Amino acid sequence: MAGDSEREPEPQPDDLDVRASTLRRASSISGGDPSPRPTSSAPKPLEPGTVLDGDYQIEGLLGTGGMSAVYIATHLRLKKRFAVKVVGESRELDPEAVTRLEREAQTTSGIDSEHIVDVTHLGKTDDDRLFVVMELLEGEDLRACQSARRDARGVRLPLEDEEVRAFVPQLLSALAAAHEAGVVHRDLKPENIFLAKRRDKIVVKLLDFGMSKLAHRDSLRITRTGQIVGTPLYMSPEQARGKHDEVHAPSDVYSLGVILFEMLSGEVPFPAETLYECVYKHTTEPPPPLAEKRMDLPVGVIELVHRCLEKEIEDRFPDAKAVLDAWDAAWATPTVDALEPPAGTLVAGPVATPAKDEKPAAEEASSTSGVLVGAVVLGVLAALGLLAWQLTRAPDEPSAPAVARPSPVAPPAPVVAPSEPILSSPPPAPVAAPPALPALSVHVTSQPSGAVVRQGETRLGTTPLDVSIPEGEASVEVSLTLREHASETRTLTRDDAEEGAHVRLTPRHTLVDFP
C-alpha cells in the first residue's frame, strides 16, 4: 500500500478547520498573544475582548487561513463557548458568494441532523467582515486521524474496518440530510469531516458547507512549484472540467468515493504532483482496483466505492441517501479473497455434466445377466439338436443300449431351469421424465460496477443486477460493457444462482489530448 500516499501533502492553512490540536491549545488562551500567528494574507486579527453583535466575546485565535480566521468566543449571557469563523473584507469577496454563504448558513442551521456542525449565528464585524458562529468541537478531523496511521517505514495505513463502519454511516446521514434539503457541500475532504469526542464515543460532524466558493480566486489552489494542496485530490470530474452548472449531489458522491477509497486503502485513488496531472486523472483514468489493495474487503463494499467513483454522473449513486441505503448490505457480501476469481472470469464452480454413455447400475447388472442367460439357452438348443439327431437315425445303424438312450419326455432338469429367467424377468421400469427446470435468477456483479448487461440485443440493466434464467433453460449468455473497459461475454448457469456471478472488467487505457 505504499503508492504515492506517503508523499501526499499535509493539510495547508487554506484548508483550516477546527481540529484537535488547536482546540486543546485554545482552551488555555486567556487573552495573551494568540498562537499560531496569522499569515500575511489573512484578514486583520480580532483582538481578545472584542465583542461581536453584542454577545460573542473573542477569547483568542484558533487558527488562520488565506481568507479566514477561526476564533474561540464566549457568549456573554449564556456563558457558553463557540467557534467563530471570520472571512475577509466584503470588497474582497464575490457578492454572489457572500449571498450564497448566507443562504446556505441559514439552510444548514435548519437541517435536522446531529452530524452537521451547528451554525447558530451569522453576522458582520464593525469593519464589515462576515462571520459565522458555530458549535465548538473537541477532537480531531479525519485528516489528522489518517495521518497518524503509519507503519514503521512511515507509509500511510488504512483505518480499521470497525472505525470505517462506525464513521461512514454518520457522515452519510449528514450528507443525506443536506441533499434532501437541496444543499450540496461541493468541498468534501477529510479536513471537513470532524471526529468529535462526546463522552465515551466519537460523533462525526460535517463542516464548511459552501465555504470553498467564497473567494474570487479559483478554489483549485496550487503552490508556486505546482504542488497540489488539498481540494483537487477529492474533486469530481465535472468540477475538474469547470462544469460548475453540473455540480450537484452526485458530485458530493464522487468526492465521498475518494474519501472511502482512502479510508479503506490508506491512499487516494488519484495521487498527483501537479494540478494538470490531477485533472487528467479525475477526468480520464479509471481508479485502481480497490480489490487489489484490500482482498479482505467484501465484494459489495468494493462495488459501492467504485460506483461512487464513476466518471459519468448518471452511473453514480444519485445522492448520499442511496449510498447509505446500500451500505449495510454491502458489508454482508463475501470477501474478495473468499471468492478468488481469476481475472475476467465468473465466480462460479464448474458444471457437473454426466457422460452420455454412463448407465445406471441396475441396467448394467441386467445386461450382465442377459449374457449369462443367452449362454444357457445356446446350451439347451445344442442338447435338443443332439437328441433330435439320435431319434432320426436310420434303422440299420447300430443303436446304443436302451438303458443309455435319453428319454425325450424327461430332459434333464438343469437344462430347462435356467431358461425360466427369460420368461419371468420383468422389463426395466420406465424412467419418469424429469420435471421442467424452474425459472430462477443469478445475481451478477462486476468490478467496476455499473457495467451494462445485455442478452443478445436486449439491454437488461447495469450491475449489480439479477439476471433471469427462464423455465426449462439451463443457462443464458450475457455480455457486459463499460466505458473505457474491454467488454466481456459470460454464460450464466443454474449453479451460479447460489453464489452469484462476478466479472472483472479489464481497463482499456486511452490517451486524451488537452488543448
CB contact burial 489-507 (16+ within 10 A = b; e otherwise): ebebbebbbebbbbbbbee
Instruction: Between 368 and 329, name the one with better pLDDT.
Output: 329
Cell numbers standing for residue 4: 504515492
pLDDT of residue 188 exceeding 90? yes
The single residue of 14, 15, 187, 315 carrying the catalytic annotation is 187
Q: How confident is the model at residue 251 (pLDDT cuts 50, 70, 90)?
A: very high
Between CA 113 and CA 368 the distance in angstroms is: 81
Cell numbers standing for residue 294: 484490500
What are the respective helix, strand and coil percentages of the chain, to the nearest 5? 35, 20, 45
pLDDT tens digit sequence for 300-326: 999 999 999 999 999 999 999 999 999
Least confident of 11-15, 24-28, 39-43, 352-356: 24-28
Residue 504, beta-bridge partner list: 447
pLDDT of residue 446 exceeding 60? yes
pLDDT of residue 425: 57
Cell numbers standing for residue 434: 424429469
CA-CA-CA-CA torsion sign (159, 177, 66, 136): negative
**Beta carbons of 347 and 499 less than 8 angstroms apart:** yes
pLDDT of residue 327: 98
pLDDT of residue 434: 62
pLDDT of residue 35: 36
Q: Is the peptide bond before 36 cis (omega within 30 degrees of 0)?
A: yes
pLDDT of residue 424: 54
pLDDT of residue 214 exceeding 50? no
| C-alpha distances in Å from residue 510, one per residue of 189, 286, 506, 507 | 28, 10, 13, 9
Neighbours of 80 (CB within 10 A): 12
Q: Model pTM?
A: 0.58
Cell numbers standing for residue 226: 505546482
Helix (H) or strand (E) holding 217: none
Cell numbers standing for residue 194: 470532524
- Catalytic status, residue 187: yes
Which domains are present in the chain? 19-136 (3.30.200.20), 138-339 (1.10.510.10), 440-504 (no CATH)
pLDDT of residue 331: 97
Q: What is the mean pLDDT of residues 356-371?
A: 48
Q: How confident is the model at residue 362 (pLDDT cuts 50, 70, 90)?
A: very low
pLDDT tens digit sequence for 265-274: 999 999 998 9
Percent of the chain with pLDDT over 90: 40
**Beta carbons of 270 and 318 less than 8 angstroms apart:** no
pLDDT of residue 87: 80
